[in-house]
Amino acid sequence: MSKSKIMIVEDESIIAEDLADSLRAMGYTVVDIVASGEEAILIAKEKQPNLILMDVMLQGEMDGVTAAEKIQSSLQIPIIFLTAYTDNKTLQRVKATNPFGYIVKPFEERNLHLTIEIALQKHQYDPITLLPNRSLFRAKLSEVLSHKNQPSFNINESHKYQNYPKIPIFYISLDRINRIKVTLGSKNGELVLCNIAKRLKESIIGIDMLARLEAAEFAIILKPVEQKEKAINLAQSILDIISQPMVLEGYEVYITASIGITFYPLDDIELDALLKNASAAMYYAQKRGGNNYQLHKSEAVVVSIEQLSLETSLRNALKQSEFEVYYQPKVNLRTGKIVGAEALIRWYHPERGLVSPGEFIPLAEETGLIISIGEWVLRTACNQAKIWQEAGFFPFEIAVNLSRRQFVQRNLQERVIKIIQEVDLEPNYLELEVTESLVIQNEKAASKIMRAWQMFGINISMDDFGTGYSSLSYLREFPFDVIKIDRSFVRNITADSKTGAITIAIIQMAHSLGLKVVAEGVETQEELDFLRQHKCDEIQGYLFSPPLPTSKFEKLLKEGKMLI
């Protein structure tokens, strides 16, 4: 697929040479093979490879994880770890370096190839706006922070740093972009993003990096400022620039944005904490109706009070029947028929209105409430599937999401089985969706439980494939029946030929392992055509239907809505 330059860090020379041969056969250039962490750091600087394959266990003082940390603190190079075994402690350390991939030895060439391509792809610029993507943004921020970090820096004494130069970080989200996508189509939605990226690039002075994080979210690292006011003025200019009207298909379109601002080192010195500050402040700006900016400090208290009250209401939500399960159809690409649905929870908060799962699932996990909520969703969804089957819509598969915290529950394995027995649904019509990070973090327990379910007849799918480590070996080691290709891939399959090629490879590989492939978040006809042409099995997405409440879903079934 490409002529990228790869460096190998591996202390066993036979393995290293073998690997180099394989890489060359795949069409990559091997820029160097080194055996120690110290050398790896030097050579990475000198040769600037596009990617590094790093053995975790290296002879000598420094192991692969430390070497990777050092390299990533100054260079933006994706690193894939190679390891012969995966104990938890090493995994935790590997995870902390934000690796782009993870391969367990001995590996298959095809796995290796695909993992490399996915890593290179994630490292690209965002193909729509041509801005750096989230990975590059994080790498840049970590670089900026590592230059500035003083060893004696103490966040509890941050008031002492009032007079230090401050690095402002902005988190920007375009308001109501979905409305534009729905009314004018996703192509125009992309045009809006490109247009705004261009305006920001051309008119804002003092930017160190402007990146597109995802969907309609951008982030900015500014050059250090002496006074906060300077950054605040800039935030106002950004709002002004974004809100200038734009003409799309003859219509005048107005876009506004919400901006969250945080300052290093005043607000925090850690990368993740800074990003969290900025996004929480952005969220607060959104809640204030959009088209405004908010500073981290000023609203932090408000956010945490809001959080607290959210927690209290979450505790009551089940009792007060504020939850509802929505169903999003899954459609078979060969027959065009609805073959099942994914159950997606919705929460109608009495005052706030609809709260999205992205917002309350993490809170439900933190508080342990996810266990009872999860059981409720499972029972409700299985019950509904049974009702539809009995009404003649047969076969009908129901997919239910499980989250990380649920795997810590004792008896999860038995509880799930008990629920479907009570509902009397044939287990092969239930699919449980788990994410890669869940599996990685609970390797032993997860594998045991998943196998038991599979023996019982339940199907297991890997959700959001392509967003995490994309460790292909997990697909084989764990009992998956289905893989769901994440929307971040689907979104780019037609715009970016490389993403297309990787998606094809994922489909082929999954099929060769006997797995069914479902594509998530299909929004356009072009995406659909591509997936159909490349033999993806099923799709889900707004193109066919958004998630629907029970009655509306039933209407689709009765009408016999088909994909054309």
Q: Which residues bind Mg ion (CB under 5 A)?
A: 401, 433, 463-464, 520
Q: In 10 A of CB 89, how many CB atoms? A: 7
Q: Verify binding: residue 401, ligand C2E, rule CB under 6 A.
A: yes
Q: Verify binding: residue 139, ligand C2E, rule CB under 6 A.
A: no
> Contact letters (x/-) for ligand C2E, 502-541, by CB under 6 A?
------------------xxxx----------------xx
Closest C-alpha to 56, from 31, 16, 86, 34? 86
Region of residue 269 (left: phi > 0; alpha: psi -120 to 50; beta: else): alpha
Q: Verify binding: residue 384, ligand C2E, rule CB under 6 A.
A: no
The residue (of 133 and 401) whose beta carbon lies closer to Mg ion is 401
Question: What angle, 0 to 180 degrees and rounded to 10, lies between the N-to-C axes of helices 550-559 and 370-390?
Answer: 30
Peptide bond into 224 cis (omega under 30): no
Mind giving me the DSSP string for 51-113? EEEEESS-SSS--HHHHHHHHHHH----EEEEES---HHHHHHHHHT--SEEEESS--HHHHH
The residue (of 297 and 379) whose beta carbon lies closer to ligand C2E is 379
Q: Verify binding: residue 403, ligand C2E, rule CB under 6 A.
A: yes
Q: Verify binding: residue 49, ligand C2E, rule CB under 6 A.
A: no
CA atoms within 13 A on the CB side of 62: 18
Angle made by CA atoms 84, 112, 463, in degrees to the nearest 5: 90
The residue (of 464 and 496) whose beta carbon lies closer to ligand C2E is 464
The residue (of 274 and 338) whose beta carbon lies closer to ligand C2E is 338
What's the gap between Cα 193 and its chain centre?
19
Q: In 10 A of CB 435, how many CB atoms? A: 21
Enumerate residues 437-466 that contact ligand C2E by CB under 6 A. 463-464
Report d(CA 496, CA 514) in Å as an integer. 27
The residue (of 267 and 520) whose beta carbon lies closer to ligand C2E is 520
Q: Verify binding: residue 377, ligand C2E, rule CB under 6 A.
A: yes
Q: Verify binding: residue 328, ligand C2E, rule CB under 6 A.
A: yes
Q: Verify binding: residue 547, ligand C2E, rule CB under 6 A.
A: yes
> Contact letters (x/-) for ligand C2E, 405-424, by CB under 6 A?
--------------------
Q: State the nearest-atom distance from the C-beta of 400 to Mg ion, in Å.
A: 9
> Contact letters (x/-) for ligand C2E, 334-363, by CB under 6 A?
----------xx----------xxx--x--
Q: What is the C-alpha end-to-end distance of the chain, expressed in Å?
A: 32
The residue (of 20 and 446) whose beta carbon lies closer to ligand C2E is 446
Q: Verify binding: residue 83, ligand C2E, rule CB under 6 A.
A: no
Judged by CB under 6 A, the number of residues near ligand C2E is 24
b/e burial code for range 267-306 (CB count within 10 A of at least 16 → b) = bbbebeebbbbbbbbbbbbbeeebbbbbbbeebbeebeeb
Q: State the nearest-atom distance from the C-beta of 520 to Mg ion, in Å.
A: 5
Residue 289, phi then psi, degrees to nearest 5: 100, 5
Select from Mg ion, ligand C2E, none the partner in contact with residue 356, using the beta carbon and a kind-dependent cut-off of 5 to 8 Å.
ligand C2E
Contact residues for ligand C2E, defined by CB under 6 A = 328, 344-345, 356-358, 361, 374, 377, 401-403, 433, 463-464, 487, 520-523, 540-542, 547
